[in-house]
Structure 1
Amino acid sequence: MKYLYSAGLLLATLAAPVLASAAPFQPNNIVVARVGDGSAALTTAATAVFLDEYTPAGRLVQSVALPTSITGNNFPLTANGTLTSELILTRSADGRYLVLTGYGTAPGTTVFNSAATDVARVIALIGADGSIDTSTSPGADAFDGASIRAAVTADGSSFYSVGSASGVRYQAFGTDTSTPLAPAPASVRAIGIGANNNLYLATTTSPYLGLSQVGTGLPTAASTVAVLPGFAGATDSSPNSFYFADLSADVPGVDVVYVADDRTTAGGGIQKWSLVNGSWVLSGTIAGSASTAVRGLGGRTVGTTVTLAATSAGGLFVLTDATGYNVAPSVVALPTAVATPGTNKAFRGAAMAPVVLAPTITSFTPATGAVGTTVTITGTNFTGATAVSIGGQAISGYTVVSATSITLVVPASVAASGPLTVVTPGGTATSTTSFSLALAAAASQALPGLALYPNPATDYVQVSLPQPGAATVALRDLTGRQVLAPQALPASQRLRLPASLAAGIYLLEVRQGSETAVRRIEKK
């Protein structure tokens, strides 16, 4: 049973329903974390949190409220209304989720310097489909008396979290304990996963000031934190969120990083760094202003063009840098904000909207089978599949076993061989090879009264139907290979046998209405 830090929370958990979902997010939109509902001035107490989805032009698409009470196994998620370093929003490395952190308590509760045994720290996982899960907590020994600022995930199965204390923590989804990976630096402002699947953090703590890498790859045990070469000398920087991009074919892995620097003096804004000869070099800065402290940052890369979404407490800024690797950004200063939060509200983190990944089919087994055969489809991103078909013929009884596996039983409604197709909210996948529908070697006795003559036959077979109505016919060899494609039986009820058809035993499939009969015929 999940430990919820107090008996009251535990009782509420056992009695509560399941957490609801928002509408699906739209690709290429921007999501901003907002604190406050506008009803009162922001204070240091726990305050309601929202995710605002905007188009790049700044049109509000939807506002999604994070829970403010316990629902099922899910915590509330609120934030300190005035602490600008909280609510850093990240997108998962695979692009399917957003991750946000906060406090597991109702609005109005004192959260500043609160004990983690009294107020749980919470990690929210928000899916591209709008689903929200706040069942994960780093535990009572993490961020105790401190704020939790950010977390990131590779694929929704585990998290790395950071805050004003406790260094970097690691845990599985849905758990209430976490493992310390790197106790120093203790205070971390932001954490992210680069396109090279390495883990990075931003801090103002010496000697780690700037950006650092945590271990190698995505660590799950104690790891060393190493300042990225070139950042060690940036003693006057104030880094927050960051976005890595791979813009040069000549430099392996990520080679450009944009960093939100919340200074309101020279050097503040969005810095662009490039990896040159193994060391990070400042290529230029998109300047902020005396009234604009940039902390939230998300990005999207297409070719060598990077679209950035940045936030200050008072605005959302959208800009494009197309200059590429190791060149100063094409924008010299932040443009006019495309959106503002409104009175008694404030923006915090920003990220590109999560997306549902398109499915792929890598294989299926068996390659051949008759009606009633169980087929297993293997691939990726099958979660939420809405349709499966064989040769364009819909299968109603399929089962999504996991994100990588679907099983189905070939129904009698499938009349022909063909490729397998899986449809999900993320797109459509079609197999590169066809499933071959085999008929049983024994004739079926469906459609009693059906007569075939002459049999053996040379040029044609007369198909005498047991009742009036249209019918389709097809011919297969004894292995199930189709030798005559399905066709409507002519009014004469005479099926011509191609002269090229070799002599032998065949299976004639006759479908009328909902019934399908199989009869053996001999071609002379």
Structure 2
Amino acid sequence: MRTDNMATNHIRRLTGCCVFALGLLAGTAQARDDDHGDRDHFKIEHDSLVISSSTYDPTRGALATLVPGSVLPNTAKATTTAVSGNNYVTVWNNASVDGSFGVTSPIQLTDLDAFTGRIQHTIGVPDEAVVTSFSSKSELGLHLVRDRDEHRLVFVGYAGAGVGALDVSNSDAVPGQDPTNPVTFAFGSEHAFPRTIVSMDKHGRFAYTPTINYGGNNGRAALLGSNGLYYSVGNANNGDAKTFGASNGTNPDVTETTGLEVVAPLDAPTPYVTPASSAEVDPLLQMVSNGKLDKPGKDDNFRGVTEHRGALYFTKGSGSNGINTVYTVNSLPTIANAAAAQISVVPGFPTDSAKVTGGNFTPFAVFFANDTTMYVTDEGTGNATDLANHGGLQKWSLVNGVWQLDYVLTQGLIGAVDSHLNGPAGPYPAVTTIGLRNLTGVVGRDGMVTLWATTSTSSASGDNGADPNKVVVITDYLPAKSLTGWAAHETFRTVAGPTYGTVYRGVAYAD
């Protein structure tokens, strides 16, 4: 968190007067400035916004030869066939026959002037090192910290997959890890890719910490804790592991290499090194829903991690297991004590079962404006109650040790429809904004909080994670406790997108 009066005044003038819908992250920006793609000149500037994005590329890897009838995963003992080739608009229909379907794509980072919205630098993360899964909406959360008075940006990717690989987000993390994983059955045991924490310094130099975590699913975000350890969040267990421990037949155990992980940094110049030491926090977390135990390793299907005052806060907002809510660990666990640390629901946040209530709360990311004010994004992807009452940007206040919801900011956001999304693969279905995902912000001494987030969407596409979404910004009056006065007029503005063929994932404010 930064408290900066001048910065907030500049940003407020910007967000109140203009919309800078940039086609910046689809590769067009690189033609405008040779510096944009040059790793020798990239720099994270002060008072800037860093955005992570990815652009669909059907020309590389297995995706380049994908046609109707191509072999895809189905179950642990059977395959199925593709219903679409690699056309950007229709390829996501393959999710109807392959529940693991996804394609890898390159990662791009863009540094914007937070005052003007001007693109200052862009850089492509080396795709021979790490990539992302294009339609995996929960990936590429960004975290910026100051390390020895320099910015360090941290995120998670897949090492060794390359661009255009299929179903990587549900692959094993280690070869042969889970014999019941449908992806392993279809593509072989070597179709496995370490979920890798990536660190970039302010000059665009990358370092890598591969892990054995999140086999069968994805790593969503990571941060560098104030104690020098990495903390990551994600999901695992795409196969049939029904118990914790070695008896479930997976190695490393997919039920205990998931959720919130403590990772010892390697920061190697390449991801092709022995994976780092790591340990899951509270690894046996499991609820009973409707009289039955939840699937092991699924109650800690976490995302959106942040650190505040020496504690970790993170969310669960998807899946039918566990509780969709905001969680905390009240200290920074180490590898030695991670198993003994306790994860708990933040007081005042929902405690109802997602399976029982159908998902009336789908939180994604958290930003602390101060010790008693927390902003939480909600995807709006749960039930009708979630979309009507929770989707958007929630403001919570701490009162007598319990957090209470003040209001939800939605003006200019929820229900916005983006159509006429045309490109070389044909028109993309109209996209409707239904909520928010990743979040960052800055606090001004004048009581104004400027917050940026990426949007959550709905469309007729086969996978809404592939929808062209946006980066938006809003300024909120910190003392406000209800949608009256200034707060009643607060409206979201578009910073970037929607851009045909591109998804926006993470945002991070650099002070």
Same fold (TM over 0.5): yes
Q: How does 1:16-415 map to 2 (within 5 A)?
A: 23-36=42-55, 41=88, 44-56=102-114, 57-69=116-128, 76-92=129-145, 96-104=151-159, 105-110=161-166, 111-117=168-174, 118-133=192-207, 135-139=208-212, 142-155=213-226, 157-165=228-236, 166-174=258-266, 176-183=276-283, 184=285, 185-194=299-308, 196-204=309-317, 208-217=323-332, 219-220=334-335, 221-222=337-338, 223-233=341-351, 236-246=360-370, 254-263=371-380, 265-266=387-388, 267-287=390-410, 288-290=413-415, 291-292=432-433, 293-303=435-445, 304-312=447-455, 314-324=469-479, 326-328=481-483, 330=487, 334-340=491-497, 342-353=499-510
Higher strand share: 1
Deviations, residues 450-509 of structure 1 (Å, cap 9, x unaligned): xxxxxxxxxxxxxxxxxxxxxxxxxxxxxxxxxxxxxxxxxxxxxxxxxxxxxxxxxxxx
Give the direction of change, closer, same or farther, for the CA distance of 1:21–1:146 in structure 2 (3 Å limit). farther
Aligned partners of 1:32 and 1:338: how far apart in 2?
10
Query: Equivalent residue for 2:458?
Result: none
- Cα distance in 2 for partners of 1:340, 1:315 equals 5
1:448 is matched with which residue?
A: none
Greater Rg, structure 1 or structure 2? 1
Q: Which residue of 1 aligns with 2:296?
A: none
Partners of 2:396 and 2:404 within 8 A in 1? yes
Counterparts in 2 of 1:21 and 1:202: CA distance versus 1, 3 Å: farther
Higher mean C-alpha deviation, range 216-225 or range 255-264: 216-225
Q: Following TM superposition, by how much is the alpha carbon of 1:157 offset from its aligned partner in structure 2, in angstroms?
A: 3.3
Offset at 1:136? 0.2
Q: Secondary structure at the match of 1:337?
A: strand
Aligned counterparts of 1:286 and 1:48: Cα–Cα separation in 2:
32
Shift of 1:338: 2.1
Question: Do the aligned partners of 2:475 and 2:490 also contact (CA within 8 Å) in 1?
Answer: no
The 2-side partners of 1:81 and 1:207 are apart by 26
What is the distance in 1 between the residues matched to 2:488 and 2:112?
22
Structure (1 or 2) with the greater helix fraction: 2
The separation in 2 between residues aligned to 1:335 and 1:96, in whole angstroms, is: 28
Aligned AA for 2:349?
A: F
Shift of 1:155: 4.8
Distance in 2, matches of 1:38 and 1:161, equals 28
Matched-pair contact (CA < 8 Å) for 1:36–1:81: yes
SS at match of 1:182: coil
| Alpha-carbon distance change, 45 to 207 in structure 1, aligned in 2, over 3 angstroms | closer
Does structure 1 retain, via aligned residues, the 8 Å contact 2:323–2:351? no
Q: Confirm or deny: 8 A CA contact 1:97 1:155 kept in the other structure.
A: no
CA distance in 2, matches of 1:305, 1:127: 29
Q: Deviations over 1:26-84 (max 9, x none)?
A: 11211111011667738621110111222234322222111111xxxxxx221111111
User: Residues 168 and 180 of structure 1 are in contact (CA less than 8 Å); yes or no, is this contact kept in structure 2?
Assistant: yes
SS in 2 for 1:100: strand
| Closer/same/farther in 2, CA of residues 341 and 323 from structure 1, 3 Å limit | same
By how many angstroms is 1:92 displaced?
Answer: 2.9
- What's the CA shift string for 1:259-294, capped at 9, x where partnerless? 111106222111111101111111111114132231
Q: Is the 8 A contact 1:92 1:156 kept in 2?
A: no
Q: Deviations over 1:93-148 (max 9, x none)?
A: 76832211111121112203111112111111122333222x20122xx1111111
Q: Secondary structure at the residue paired with 1:187?
A: coil
Of structures 1 and 2, the one with the larger relative CO (CA 8 A, separation 6+) is 2
Q: 1:336 offset after TM fit, Å?
A: 3.0
- State the alpha-carbon separation in 1 of the partners of residues 333 and 476 from structure 2: 29
Relative to structure 1, the CA distance from residue 336 to residue 301 in structure 2 (aligned partners, 3 Å threshold; closer, same or farther) is: closer
Q: Is the 8 A contact 2:154 2:223 kept in 1?
A: yes
Contact 2:140 2:157 in 1 (8 A): yes
What is the root-mean-square deviation in Å for CA atoms of aligned residues? 2.6
Q: Distance in 1 between matches of 2:125 and 2:199?
A: 11
CA contact (8 A) 2:225 2:231 kept: no
What is the TM-score normalised by the length of structure 2?
A: 0.58
* 2: CA distance, partners of 1:122 / 1:301: 32
Unaligned runs of at least 5 residues, structure 2: 1-37, 60-87, 93-101, 175-191, 237-257, 267-274, 286-298, 353-358, 382-386, 416-431, 456-467
1:22/1:261 CA distance change after superposition, 3 Å: farther
Which blocks of at least 5 consecutive residues in structure 1 are unaligned?
1-18, 70-75, 247-253, 356-524
Q: What letter corresponds to residue 279 of structure 1 in structure 2?
A: V
TM-score computed with the length of structure 1 as normaliser: 0.56
| 8 Å contact from structure 1 (residues 199, 218) kept in 2 | no
**Separation of aligned partners in 1, 2:227 and 2:163:** 27
Q: d(CA) in 2 for partners of 1:332 and 1:32?
A: 27
Question: 3-state SS of the aligned residue for 2:106?
Answer: strand
2:482 and 2:497 map into 1 onto residues whose CA distance is 31
